Amino acid sequence: MSFMLNFLGNIPRANAPIPVHQEGTVVVKVPHRPLAEDSLIFGLVNGKKFVDWTDADHQNTYTALQKAARIWEEKKIEDFIVIGKATKDENFHWEAAPYTKPSGCFWNLNQVLSRYCYLRFLKVLPIARRKIKQIGVLRRVVFQGSLLSRKKQNEIQRSYQQKFSIVSDYQPRSSEEGEDYFCSEAVIKAQSVFEGNKVRILYNYAPVGVGKKKRHFMIMPKEHRTNFLDLKQDEYVEAAQLAQALFKHFQMPAYLFHKTNPESGQTVPHWHLHVPFYETKVEEWVGKLTVFKNTVWGSKRLSPGALDQEVLKYRQELQGLTKKTS
Ligand SMILES: [Zn+2]
């Protein structure tokens, strides 16, 4: 037995993420267990827990992420999800996973649950393929992805390094008036639980939060911004600050994520940061499974009465949120 343990102990350490770009305090890396091929990690040079990230850290994240989005755009990739897990003890980072468009049988072989190739022959609707791809990424968020070979990781590093060095500063696109759900006065009136300066917090009418109290918030700019490419830096920073304030307030783990464009699962064309909290220990296997199930399949919509009750409760509870926690 001791021989076995000794033997296991001598196995070379698994790969670590490798850096491709630095944006002030933020370092962009190629993960060794990616959520999708070509995905990137955005962490801090000096790792910090989520609550300790500063405004400058958020600003740098925004800039680096806009640059990555432009690099993907050139490769005709317009859809991506950005996701992070905030806990009390671990250093926080975001991972941005681009969604490549289907191109033949192998388009998603690495992206998805693998061996779903036969779906092509079953002529399954594109929407099903899209969903499977999304599930693949979420599965890896919750259960960890498989190890990327060092060789592959280095290849990805080289291609990104080059591109990051030439991409110029990004100017957000101007966005038109929106007629979506989050621009609707009625929705804001019914679901807003906190009004910030340029962003607000809505309570989700079908919360996926795990635990007895389903806490699932969405933070979005008051002005219409279709997706991350339209979002202004100060709006992003305030959204991140409010997510930190919520995290400090509820004191439990949360998954934070935002999606850009429908292929990645963005259903409302108005940028929003999801903040669902998890009362159960997400490290437990059952906890992980529950998180996965709820994130993929969503939850039941609350009845109008129950929604009103929750919104009223949180409106009171979160009064002076930023004053209390800053
Ligand atoms: Zn809108």
Give the length of the chain: 326
Report the pLDDT value the prediction gives residue 14, as an integer from 0 to 100: 56
Tokens read off for 53: 């990230």
Share of the chain above pLDDT 70, in %: 83
Report the pLDDT value the prediction gives residue 87, as an integer from 0 to 100: 92
CATH architecture of 181-325: 2-Layer Sandwich (3.30)
Report the pLDDT value the prediction gives residue 8, as an integer from 0 to 100: 45
Question: If you count DSSP H runs as helices and E runs as strands, how many of each does the chain have, helices first?
Answer: 10, 10
Report the pLDDT value the prediction gives residue 117, as an integer from 0 to 100: 42
Q: Is 273 left (phi over 0), alpha (psi -120 to 50) or beta?
A: beta
Query: Cβ contacts of residue 112 below 8 Å, gap of 6+?
Result: 132, 133, 135, 136
Give this prediction's pTM: 0.85
| Number of other residues whose CB lies within 10 A of the CB of residue 185 | 7
pLDDT at 225 over 60: yes
Residue 288 CA to ligand 1 centre (angstroms): 32
Report the pLDDT value the prediction gives residue 207, as an integer from 0 to 100: 84
- 82-91, 110-119, 272-281, 292-301: least confident range: 110-119
Residue 57 CA to ligand 1 centre (angstroms): 27
pLDDT at 97 over 60: yes
- 30-34, 190-194, 272-276: least confident range: 30-34
Residue 169 CA to ligand 1 centre (angstroms): 25
14-166 has CATH 3.20.20.10 classification: no
In whole angstroms, what separates CA 65 from the centre of its chain? 12
pLDDT tens for each residue of 143-159: 777 888 889 889 999 99
CA dihedral of residues 239, 244, 249, 253 (deg, nearest 10): 110
The mean pLDDT of 206-218, rounded to a whole number, is: 82
Q: Are 321 and 249 in contact (CB under 8 A)?
A: yes
Residue 270 CA to ligand 1 centre (angstroms): 5
Report the pLDDT value the prediction gives residue 322, as an integer from 0 to 100: 83
pLDDT at 30 over 90: yes
pLDDT tens for each residue of 255-306: 899 999 887 788 899 999 999 998 776 666 777 777 777 776 667 888 989 9
Residue 317 CA to ligand 1 centre (angstroms): 26
Report the pLDDT value the prediction gives residue 110, as an integer from 0 to 100: 43
Q: In whole numbers, what is the pLDDT of the chain averaged over residues?
A: 83
Numbered ranges of CATH 3.30.428.10 in the chain:
14-166, 181-325
Q: What are phi and psi of 94, to 5 degrees?
A: -100, 150
